[in-house]
């Protein structure tokens, strides 16, 4: 069930490229606008890049997350999922993994642009950035997928998701930004922040899996 | 029932007045901060009351998810709303106190930031309640309440680590560390008064919530019967 839904979502995305295209363009705009707004030199950009990168990815991820469930509303697909005997969590995991892949592709494509536009060179060990990216992306995406399922039930769908996602994501965002900054500047150890992200991921994945069934079946 | 609630309101007013008298006249003047420290008797009890209400909201949300009891949902709605009011009081009185004492309105210290994030989370909870459609509101809101409550300790831990790494412009504000014994009675009286006020507001909000549900129910019934006629 997880694999079937995931394969279907990936195939749809591969053919339409809706989410990736809009995310990419959106993130590109954020990069350019931030660059104008702050106009940093190499040393400054190392200090602020962690914040810029993650804020850009956060905003861009919202674009993809909003589309997660919206495409299932057409032709009452979501109702069909609801009456099917397949476990609800399998559906949730498929959607979350799908979003994780979309946002990861976005990050892989955007990272070189950041490096070029902001003249970034990491002082600390750069491979740790990959760990931060994986844990951070999952932190954004797991809650985002869940909250997208909440927000499609509301009157103002698109605006609702960031309103409920951002407050809950503040600790994760802080951990991502600070670990990235401490790796780039090489001034401090990012270990605490990586552990924090891990705790956040484990806790909220558990909460999502615990509550998703009630939310899917909410009438 | 009516008489009991009237008596309770009268009692609350009396306790509020007595507590205000305690805080303004009976409590000793603080040595370094002077009279401005008296805002402490409103600030801290409001914070305790808000935290208590948010905890009640969390408990009611869990009960709702397990039992699907509409009363629990109404309790959750009422406690979240009144909790946000008290949390707002904390966030307003805090800077008023901080400005003369610390010299700044705001600092991103662990407790301040956690309270602000807490406030943001519960405001988003109220927004979700407001914008969701029909009866599914209760389930969605209960789910978000659990997320919010789980988030708070994580917020506190991250911010504390975040701030201890950087030098803080403020030298400690540990009011809880060495509280003069004569300050305790005014503090506790005010807490009692604020908690009673919270109960009155919460109960009123709860009744309103139940009435709204009744009205909606009757509208639905009327629409069903009207279509048959």
How large a percentage of chain A has pLDDT more than 90?
Answer: 22
Lowest mean pLDDT, pick from A189-203, B50-64, B127-141: B127-141
* Max CA pair span of chain B: 77
Confidence of residue B83 (pLDDT cuts 50, 70, 90): very high
- CA–CA distance from B200 to each of B10, B78, B117, B123, B206 (Å)? 11, 11, 26, 21, 10
For A189, phi then psi, to 5°, come to -85, 135
B130-162: per-residue pLDDT in tens?
Answer: 887 777 888 889 999 999 998 888 888 877 777
Query: What's the pLDDT score for residue B167?
Result: 44
How many Å apart are CA A150 and CA B139, to the nearest integer? 9
B184-197: per-residue pLDDT in tens?
Answer: 788 888 888 888 88
Query: What's the pLDDT score for residue B227?
Result: 66
Residue A75 scores a pLDDT above 80: no
CA dihedral angle for residue A10, residue A12, residue A13, residue A15, rounded to 10 degrees:
120
Helix (H) or strand (E) holding B66: helix B40-67
Query: What's the pLDDT score for residue B176?
Result: 46
Confidence of residue B178 (pLDDT cuts 50, 70, 90): low
Query: Average pLDDT of A56-63?
Result: 89
Beta pairing partners, A154: B132
Question: What is the DSSP secondary structure assignment for residue B28, as one 8-state letter?
Answer: P
CB contacts, 8 Å: A174 with chain B: 158-159, 162
The helix/strand/coil state of B32 is: coil
Beta pairing partners, B132: A154
The chain A residues in contact with chain B (CB within 8 A) are 143, 146-147, 150, 153-156, 160, 163-164, 166-168, 170-171, 174-175, 178, 188, 192, 196, 199-200, 203-204, 207, 211, 214-215, 218-219
Q: How close is the nearest chain A Cα to the Cα of B208, in Å?
A: 22
Confidence of residue A198 (pLDDT cuts 50, 70, 90): very high
Q: Which of residues A82 and A198 earns the better pLDDT score?
A: A198
Query: What's the pLDDT score for residue B166?
Result: 47
Query: Average pLDDT of A159-174?
Result: 90
pTM, two decimals, is 0.84
Query: How many other C-beta atoms are found inside a 10 Å radius of the C-beta of residue A92?
Result: 24
Confidence of residue B221 (pLDDT cuts 50, 70, 90): confident
Beta pairing partners, B30: B34
Residue in chain A closest to B141 (alpha carbons) equals A150
The residues, any chain, with a CB within 8 Å of residue A193's CB and separated by 6 or more, are A132, A175, A176, A178, A179, A182
Q: Given the structure tokens 């370094």, which residue do they identify?
A: B32
Query: What's the pLDDT score for residue B153?
Result: 86
Q: Given the structure tokens 């932190």, which residue do they identify?
A: A139
Query: With b meaning 16 or more CB within 10 Å and e meaning fewer, what string describes A96-135?
Result: bbbbbbbbeebbeebbeebeebbebebebeeebbeebbeb
Query: Average pLDDT of A145-170?
Result: 87
């Amino acid at each position: 069930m997880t694999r079937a839904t995931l394969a279907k979502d990936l195939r749809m995305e591969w053919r339409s490229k809706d989410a990736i295209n809009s995310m990419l363009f959106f993130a590109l705009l954020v990069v350019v606008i931030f660059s104008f707004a702050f106009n940093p030199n190499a040393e400054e950009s190392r200090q602020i890049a962690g914040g810029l990168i993650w804020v850009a990815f956060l905003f861009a991820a919202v674009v993809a997350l909003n589309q997660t469930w919206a495409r299932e509303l057409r032709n009452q697909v979501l109702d069909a999922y609801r009456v099917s005997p397949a476990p609800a969590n399998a559906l949730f995991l498929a959607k979350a993994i799908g979003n994780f892949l979309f946002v990861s592709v976005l990050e892989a494509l955007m990272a070189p642009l950041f490096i070029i536009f902001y003249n970034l060179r990491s002082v600390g060990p750069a491979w740790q950035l990959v760990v931060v990216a994986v844990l951070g992306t999952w932190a954004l995406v797991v809650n985002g997928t869940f909250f997208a399922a909440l927000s499609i039930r509301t009157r103002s769908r698109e605006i609702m998701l960031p309103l409920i996602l951002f407050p809950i994501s503040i600790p994760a965002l802080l951990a991502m930004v600070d670990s990235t900054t401490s790796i780039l500047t090489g001034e401090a150890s990012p270990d605490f922040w990586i552990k924090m992200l891990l705790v956040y991921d484990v806790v909220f994945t558990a909460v999502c899996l615990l509550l998703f069934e009630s939310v899917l079946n909410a009438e | 029932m009516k008489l009991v609630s009237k008596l309770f309101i009268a009692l609350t007013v009396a306790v509020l007045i007595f507590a205000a008298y305690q805080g303004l006249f009976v409590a000793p003047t603080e040595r370094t901060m002077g009279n401005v420290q008296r805002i402490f008797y409103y600030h801290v009890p409001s914070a305790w009351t808000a935290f208590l209400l948010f905890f009640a909201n969390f408990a009611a949300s869990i009960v709702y998810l397990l039992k699907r009891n509409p009363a629990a949902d109404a309790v959750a709605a009422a406690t979240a709303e009144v909790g946000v009011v008290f949390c707002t009081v904390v966030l307003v009185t805090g800077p008023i106190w901080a400005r003369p004492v610390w010299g700044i309105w705001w600092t991103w210290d662990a407790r301040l930031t956690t309270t602000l994030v807490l406030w943001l989370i519960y405001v988003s909870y109220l927004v979700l309640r407001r914008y969701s459609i029909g009866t599914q509101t209760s389930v969605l809101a209960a789910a978000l309440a659990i997320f919010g409550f789980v988030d708070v300790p994580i917020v506190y831990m991250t911010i504390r680590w975040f701030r201890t790494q950087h030098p803080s412009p403020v030298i400690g504000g540990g009011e809880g560390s060495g509280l003069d014994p004569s300050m305790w009675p005014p503090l506790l009286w005010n807490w009692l008064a604020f908690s009673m006020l919270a109960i009155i507001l919460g109960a009123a909000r709860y009744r309103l919530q139940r009435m709204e549900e009744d009205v909606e129910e009757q509208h639905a019934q009327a629409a069903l019967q009207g279509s048959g006629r």
